[in-house]
Amino acid sequence: MQTRKKYIFLTFLASWLLLFFFGGDQLHRFAFFSRRKVEARRNWPHWTDRSLLKSFADPEELLSDGDPSLPSCRMETCFDFSRCEKHGFKVFTYPRERDQPLSESYSKILASIERSRYYTPNPEEACLFILSIDTLDRDHLSGQYVRNVDEKIRSFPLWNGGRNHLIFNLYSGTWPNYTEDLGFDIGQAILAKASFYTESFRPGFDISIPLFSKDHPQRGGEKGWLYQDSIPPKKKYLLVFKGKRYLTAFLGASEPPQDAHGWVGAVPDPHPISHPRFDYQELLHNSTFCIVPRGRRLGSFRFLEALQAACIPVLLSDGWELPFAEAIDWGKAAVVAPWFLPQIPSAVRCIHPERVLAFQQQTQFLWDAYFSSVDKIVHTTLEIIKDRLLPHRSRSRFLWNTLPGGLLALPNFSTHPGDFPFYYLQHGSSPSEKFTAFIRAVSPGGSPSQPLLRLIQAVSRSQYCAQIVVLWSCEKPPPPSGKWPQSTVPVTIIQGREKLSDRFFPYATIQTDAVLSLDEHTSLSTSEVRLWLVDGLAACEDILMNVLVAAVTKLPPIKVKGMDCLNQLADWFGYMPLVSSQLRLDPVLFKDQVSVLRKKYPRLEKP
């Protein structure tokens, strides 16, 4: 009996030892995943490759200093639409405080808003309000951190709990957690934020913006680096990245392919691993894909660098709400990589060259249209908000993601792509050969002048003229229809103001893409209508139109002159949109070192 009890006791003891030995690790994992569930409920950013980044915060560190929960807002519940009904979409910036310095980046943002067509100095007309308090850097360890923001904004009589306010932010939280905490209650304000975490993002209300440096240009911006002769699209390096965080994983877990192209160009920071150093700009020029890992926050400066360089971004930042994703289709310009890190090289190598080229072209379009300057980032933010206010007149994603872009396709003109000349190729159509003659009349008398009548008769006899629109910019009302000459094409009279800019307004009366803009004293015969030249001796409107067309189409214009006008327009645009071109007007072999007998016009060279 004693022997039997002894064997039972030994068997029970052995079972406990086996359970403790083999099950302890499972119990530890269960506790870890339970902790991860708490983590997920608190909306903390998570690292998909935490085992490779042992120098960063452990899961236990993420359980301290929670971020304030934002109110569940929509435009219908947290935005007062009635403020926008009378005066339209107007934006007011709070007056500057003398004792409160602004960062260079926030000064650029405010300057962009105050130069926009939506700015108003009158708060009674405003639909949207922008704080003069610098809220870009909310890291309390930063020298640009503004304290007591809550007290300041509550003292503003226009604050109203944040309604109809737009707050910009680039950096939130501090080391080691880098949470979403801004350090003040934004209330019902719209948050335009970089490094936006998807679980904190309020869809249709907040806006994700890109992370940009203080050196980002105010206007204009540098052009992209993709050239028209970039064929084939695959370059010397397949994949590049800058930094040391992922270097160990790549060198330890991946092997380079046996082909003619390089595989990974790394730009390491000081690091114990021996690896050759490269010039980062040279790598960007010569790489097909650029890894864009998350920084200490979700966003990274590498993102805009890759877009400009036509280096297709490979995004390794789970949970990041991509910039302007409400309008931009990032699936056409970037690779979002949910795979494990060593699988990325083999995955991107399988992308077809035609799709690679399409990716590269889209990166250049997005960079130039929305990200190359602070002006474009701010204007894109404002236009997205404006589209929300008038959804029936908002831009479609097609307009946002196709040349020339949403900022140049105004919805108050049309929301149908077929009404814009930029999209004929996509719709398989071609522009009409007809044009509208647009004549600006400034006669001081109450009747049309004789030059105006002769001009209407000459233009109307052209087979390419579809209609004639007369902009009557005179103090006296236009004469009745009986005073105008008979014409085979319809003649429409529009009452205008005494402003030169009225001739560039997209009047609903105009039904053609081509518009021949004329003054009433223009001397023109019917035979000359097929070819007209711009003559801008005293005014700049002709050069303005050339600059505007070049900025939209990226094509060289006709020859223009007027250095004062060009300098002023370049200052307005922030860069020179005109594309240089070469034109030779001399006869064949003129001034060439050949016999005069071989030249077609030998007498031209005689003194």
Please list the active-site residues.
542
> How far apart are alpha carbons 555 and 196 in whole angstroms?
37
> How far apart are alpha carbons 159 and 161 in whole angstroms?
6
Peptide bond into 391 cis (omega under 30): no
Tokens representing 438? 């647009």
Parallel/antiparallel/unpaired status of strands 491-495 and 237-242: unpaired
CB atoms closer than 10 angstroms to residue 307: 29
- CA distances from residue 173 to 48, 109, 176, 191 in whole angstroms, order as listed: 20, 21, 9, 15
> How far apart are alpha carbons 174 and 183 in whole angstroms?
11
How buried is residue 422: exposed, middle or buried, by Cβ count under 10 Å (0-12/13-18/19+)? Answer: middle
E strand segments, 507-594: 514-519
263 within 8 A of 345, measured Cβ to Cβ: yes
Provide the 8-state DSSP code for 18.
H
* Phi-psi domain of 351 (left: phi exceeds 0; alpha: psi -120 through 50; beta: other): beta
Tokens representing 55? 């120098």
Provide the 8-state DSSP code for 9.
H
Handedness of CA 277, 278, 280, 283 (dihedral sign): negative
Residues 6+ away with beta carbon under 8 Å from 467: 436, 437, 489, 490, 491, 492, 509, 510, 511, 512
Please give the helix or strand (H or E) that residue 437 lies within, else none: strand 435-441
Q: How many helices (H) and strands (E) does the chain have?
A: 15, 16
Peptide bond into 587 cis (omega under 30): no
Identify which of 400, 375, 387 has the alpha carbon closest to the alpha carbon of residue 325. 400
What is the number of residues in the chain?
A: 607
> How far apart are alpha carbons 248 and 251 in whole angstroms?
5
Tokens representing 72? 């569940």
Identify which of 182, 183, 199 has the alpha carbon closest to the alpha carbon of residue 191. 182
Task: Provide the residue type at 199 as one letter.
Answer: E
Q: Where are the alpha helices (DSSP H) in 102-175?
A: 104-115, 149-154
- CA distances from residue 531 to 198, 462, 465, 526 in whole angstroms, order as listed: 56, 12, 13, 10
Provide the 8-state DSSP code for 368.
I
